[in-house]
Amino acid sequence: MKMMLPKKRALLCPAFCFAIALSVYAQKELRISNLSVNLLGNTERIFLNGYPSITPLNKAINRKEQFQFTEISTRKPFFGWVVESDKNDIRQKSYRIIVSSSEDSLSQKGKGDMWDSGIVENSQSTNVFYDGASLSPGKLYFWRVSVWDNEGNESPPSAIGTFKTSEKLNEYATDKHPMQKQDERAVKIENIAPNHYFLDFARDAFGRLRANLFSENGTDTLTLHLGEAVKNGRINPSPGGTIRYSTYRFVAQKGWNTYIVDIRPDQRNTNPPAVLMPDYIGEVTPFRYCEIENYKHKLSEGDIVRETVFYPFNETDSYFHSSDSVLNQVWELCKYSIKATSFAGLYVDGDRERIPYEADALINQLSHYCTAREYNIARASYEHLITHPTWPTEWILQTPIMAWFDYLYTGDSSSFSHHYADLKAKTLLALADENGFISTRTRKVTPEILRSIHFNGTIRDIVDWPQTGGFGAKGESDGYVFTDINTVVNAYHYRALSILQAFAEHLNKTDDAELFETQARKLKESFNKLLFDKKRGVYVDGIGTDHASLHANMFALAFGLVPEKDVASVLRFIESRKMACSVYGAQFLMDALYDYGNENYGLQLLASTEERSWYNMVRQGSTISMEAWDNKFKPNQDWNHAWGAVPANTIARKLMGIEPYSPGFEKISIKPQPGSLKYAEIKHPTIRGDVFVKFENKAGLRFQLEIQIPANTTAIVRLPFYGKGQSVEMNGKTVPYKREGKYATIEHVGAGKWIFTVKK
């Protein structure tokens, strides 16, 4: 017998969503939405044992329940909001914030006993720091904001935001939401043998099982199987690697009873340094499928529930749809992966170890920014890694890169300001030689250097991982030859120096800024003099070898070390190596390709159906991105690894071209690179509001771009340049543009909805 459960209500198609969004947008007057405190939205939200509670915050704080609160733990929190308008070219001219210890006083009298900023002439709508009376620990506070725009219009006051302070207040801290549970039912229940049921929850997720079961006599021994993979219509009990399978036996009690399958802890991922699950959540395991053996009663819809766990994630914050069905499936896989792998409250390496690693965290971070309006789990993860680094040289150097993206996407400098000394140490500048190169293999790594980066152990170069494969497959480093002066390590070092120069300039640390600039310039000169093979037009893996790998060239290009005259030869070599890197290395391969104009090859890789492709993960049956391209490339691989979700950010940042031009998206860069893709549209959340981009592409003949950017922002828009005779229209009117290589650039586009048309 096979029971097909009713389908969930279909989601609106992206095209319809886009139209509805613009229609609703057109009906709005100046207003305020998306209030946030310390980058957190919905600070009034509370949870009861992981489930969202219906009890209001002001009632919950006085009740004896196992509530979990979103708590603000800084003495001077900072506020943010989104400005919305039905008109184009609207910017905030001024604002007024009122904070009160009494909701009634604020709502009825419009007064605040804690802080009234007065009318402040400033366009800042993010990261506005509290400047009122001292906040008390463990108290509720209420706030609202009004804004005025550049046309003199005043918004209605915002909804009242509520936040609870923690029991201890600090000068600096990164706050987070509690973890969330959601009950999910199987989409298919199948009676595959007498008293034997098979259930499919459609997607893999971290959680545990709750079962409502009946026993006639209380003597039935039931067996439950949980797993991520199937074979011949059954859960695969030997899936290999770290693909999960578990089984549980118990005697059912007489009558109807509800059972919680408490997950047995795995010693490897539940002991330090693993990130532990909070008590109110309990232990979890990833599974998509369930089997129940020896159940003699009819199993009905709703009898089996998966308690799925994740960091709060609003799936409506983003969408993507295109004319390429493979690309659409890749996007859905990768977007869902970001939600599913947030189960630990910090970015971890999947289920095998549950340890934060810098390489995973960077990809998690960028992909989270592009799929949900959330910034704190990324910040908490990179800050955790400052004091809990891992062993690879390059990944230690990756910490400043994460700090940079945190600043770029939030516009808030408090994190890198607070951690500046640590980030400075993470450049590993202390290892530099007279040419500017660093090395961990020349006996320069002293105990003092290790203490400065909070590491107790031996750091060593990684390039990519795994360095050796399994089942006869090669490793993922394209035959990389390791020498004392490692090209990839020094590419990372160059990027870290450039970032610290920017941080030092922001903090007015003039001497440091000059030091970082000098070292970066010296390194770049040495890099191109000693590591570039002019005859072949490629970078070698290091001093002392003539081997040239994909990695030596893609990292050099991605991190801005390649002179313009050599870009073409480096790109040709990169393309010749195909996908000779891991799912982690693919992040930098895709950045290099799109940043230097090879979008056709970038699209080819994104939508590939070859063995080393994201679509292969779908084909293998995984619904969360995998740790490797295929099981054969990593003997211990898992099926729940977010570092395999690169397209979640590449599609948004590079193919659709939405990136912050200035920190915090005050100015937005929109630079679609469609290649041969005929049609695509996306909704991208930002700290200042949602960005919508849609294009229709007749490559080389006509390109139409529709965008909507939030009020209180501007954009720089880059369109294809077909030739001198082309015309560019903006909302039906011909407009001038500046040619920049293969792009026609319009530098100052105001907020609102715009349609651009390029005709040859």
Domain membership of residue 164 (yes or no) is yes
Asked if 268 and 154 sit in the same domain, the reply is: no
Instruction: Return the bridge partners of 759, or none.
Output: 702, 727
- Amino acid letter, residue 173: A
Q: Give me the mean pLDDT over the 329-356 stretch.
A: 98
Domain membership of residue 2 (yes or no) is no
Asked if 546 and 635 sit in the same domain, the reply is: yes
Range of the domain at 675: 664-759
**What is the predicted pLDDT for the residue at 25?**
42
**What is the predicted pLDDT for the residue at 760?**
87
The Cα 120–Cα 351 span in angstroms is 49
Domain membership of residue 3 (yes or no) is no
**What is the predicted pLDDT for the residue at 4?**
37
Asked if 165 and 289 sit in the same domain, the reply is: no
Domain-terminating residue out of 110, 138, 170: 170
The Cα 220–Cα 227 span in angstroms is 23
The Cα 571–Cα 592 span in angstroms is 9
How many angstroms separate the Cα of 541 from the Cα of each of 315, 417, 463, 532, 617? 42, 35, 10, 9, 30
The Cα 726–Cα 724 span in angstroms is 6
Binning pLDDT at 50, 70 and 90, where does residue 24 land? very low
Domain membership of residue 42 (yes or no) is yes
Domain-terminating residue out of 266, 283, 310: 310
The Cα 591–Cα 586 span in angstroms is 8
Q: Give me the mean pLDDT over the 302-310 stretch.
A: 97
pLDDT, tens digit, 9 for 90 and up, residues 198-247: 999 999 999 999 999 999 999 999 999 999 999 999 999 999 999 999 99
The Cα 8–Cα 140 span in angstroms is 38
Asked if 340 and 226 sit in the same domain, the reply is: no
Domain membership of residue 544 (yes or no) is yes
pLDDT, tens digit, 9 for 90 and up, residues 684-707: 999 999 999 999 999 889 999 999
Percent of the chain scoring above 90 in pLDDT: 94
Per-residue pLDDT at 663 exceeds 70: yes
**What is the predicted pLDDT for the residue at 699?**
81
Q: Give me the mean pLDDT over the 526-544 stretch.
A: 98
Q: Give me the mean pLDDT over the 68-96 stretch.
A: 98
Asked if 624 and 735 sit in the same domain, the reply is: no
Q: Give me the mean pLDDT over the 526-547 stretch.
A: 98
Asked if 468 and 452 sit in the same domain, the reply is: yes
pLDDT, tens digit, 9 for 90 and up, residues 242-284: 999 999 999 999 999 999 999 999 999 999 999 999 999 999 9
Per-residue pLDDT at 335 exceeds 50: yes
Per-residue pLDDT at 550 exceeds 60: yes
Q: Give me the mean pLDDT over the 564-582 stretch.
A: 98
Burial 448-471 (b: 16+ CB within 10 A, else e): ebeebbebeeebebbbbbbeeebe
Give the count of alpha carbons within 13 A of 152, CB side only: 0
Query: Burial level of 391, CB count in 10 A (0-12/13-18/19+)?
Result: middle
How many angstroms separate the Cα of 310 from the Cα of each of 47, 233, 313, 350, 543? 13, 28, 7, 13, 46
Asked if 72 and 86 sit in the same domain, the reply is: yes
The Cα 630–Cα 639 span in angstroms is 10
Asked if 452 and 579 sit in the same domain, the reply is: yes
Greater model confidence, 17 or 691:
691
Domain membership of residue 698 (yes or no) is yes
**What is the predicted pLDDT for the residue at 468?**
85
Binning pLDDT at 50, 70 and 90, where does residue 41 land? very high
CA dihedral sign, ordered 406, 409, 415, 417 = positive
Binning pLDDT at 50, 70 and 90, where does residue 29 land? confident
**What is the predicted pLDDT for the residue at 473?**
75
Closest CA to 192 of 145, 156, 235: 235
Binning pLDDT at 50, 70 and 90, where does residue 82 land? very high
pLDDT, tens digit, 9 for 90 and up, residues 370-392: 999 999 999 999 999 999 999 99
Per-residue pLDDT at 31 exceeds 90: yes
Per-residue pLDDT at 680 exceeds 60: yes
CATH of the domain at 482: 1.50.10.10
Binning pLDDT at 50, 70 and 90, where does residue 603 land? very high
The length of the chain in residues reads 760
Asked if 267 and 164 sit in the same domain, the reply is: no
Question: Do strands 702-720 and 667-670 pair parallel, antiparallel, or not at all (unpaired)?
Answer: parallel
Closest CA to 550 of 483, 488, 638, 630: 488
Measured N-to-C along each axis, helices 567-576 and 550-558 cross at an angle, to the nearest 10 degrees, of 140
User: What letter would DSSP give residue 717?
Assistant: E
Per-residue pLDDT at 415 exceeds 70: yes
Please say whether the beta carbons of 556 and 569 come within 8 A.
Answer: no
Asked if 72 and 164 sit in the same domain, the reply is: yes
Domain membership of residue 7 (yes or no) is no
**What is the predicted pLDDT for the residue at 2?**
39
- Helices of type H across 195-344: 325-340
Binning pLDDT at 50, 70 and 90, where does residue 103 land? very high
What is residue 310's three-state secondary structure? strand
**What is the predicted pLDDT for the residue at 619?**
97
Say what the alpha-carbon torsion angle 172, 177, 179, 181 is, to the nearest 10 degrees: 180
Question: Do strands 161-170 and 71-74 pair parallel, antiparallel, or not at all (unpaired)?
Answer: parallel
Percent of the chain scoring above 70 in pLDDT: 96
The Cα 304–Cα 289 span in angstroms is 11
pLDDT, tens digit, 9 for 90 and up, residues 421-437: 999 999 999 999 999 99
Q: Give me the mean pLDDT over the 501-522 stretch.
A: 98
**What is the predicted pLDDT for the residue at 13?**
52
DSSP per-residue letters across 568-614: HHHHHHHHHT-S-S-TTTHHHHHHHHHHTT-HHHHHHHHT--SSSSH
Asked if 482 and 585 sit in the same domain, the reply is: yes
**What is the predicted pLDDT for the residue at 7?**
39
Closest CA to 439 of 400, 493, 516, 387: 493
Per-residue pLDDT at 19 exceeds 60: no
Report CA 362 to chain centroid distance, whole Å. 8
The Cα 721–Cα 733 span in angstroms is 18
The Cα 574–Cα 550 span in angstroms is 6
CATH of the domain at 195: 2.60.120.260
Give kind and range of the element (H or E) at residue 756.
strand 743-759
Question: How many structural domains does the chain have?
Answer: 4
CATH of the domain at 689: 2.60.420.10
User: What letter would DSSP give residue 752?
Assistant: E
Asked if 114 and 261 sit in the same domain, the reply is: no
**What is the predicted pLDDT for the residue at 471?**
67
- Amino acid letter, residue 698: K
Closest CA to 56 of 129, 142, 114, 117: 142
Greater model confidence, 279 or 17:
279
Query: Percentage helix, strand, coil, to 5, in the chain?
Result: 30, 30, 45
Please say whether the beta carbons of 665 and 713 come within 8 A.
Answer: yes
Report the mean per-residue pLDDT for the chain: 95
Binning pLDDT at 50, 70 and 90, where does residue 20 land? very low
The Cα 390–Cα 465 span in angstroms is 14
User: What letter would DSSP give residue 109?
Assistant: I
Per-residue pLDDT at 457 exceeds 60: yes
Domain membership of residue 260 (yes or no) is yes
Binning pLDDT at 50, 70 and 90, where does residue 10 land? very low
Binning pLDDT at 50, 70 and 90, where does residue 627 land? very high
Question: Do strands 115-116 and 161-170 pair parallel, antiparallel, or not at all (unpaired)?
Answer: unpaired
**What is the predicted pLDDT for the residue at 472?**
67
CATH of the domain at 147: 2.60.40.10
Per-residue pLDDT at 17 exceeds 90: no
Domain-terminating residue out of 310, 329, 348: 310
Residue 439 backbone class (left: φ over 0; alpha: ψ -120 to 50; beta: rest)? beta
Q: How many CB atoms lie within 10 A of CB 267?
A: 7
Q: Give me the mean pLDDT over the 16-32 stretch.
A: 58
DSSP per-residue letters across 13-79: PHHHHHHHHHHHHHH--SEEEEEEETTEE-TT-EEETTEEPSS-HHHHTTS-S-EEE-EEEESS-EE
* Residue that the structure tokens 């193919």 belong to: 655
Q: CA angle, corner 297, sides to 291 and 298, nearest 5?
A: 75
Greater model confidence, 470 or 207:
207
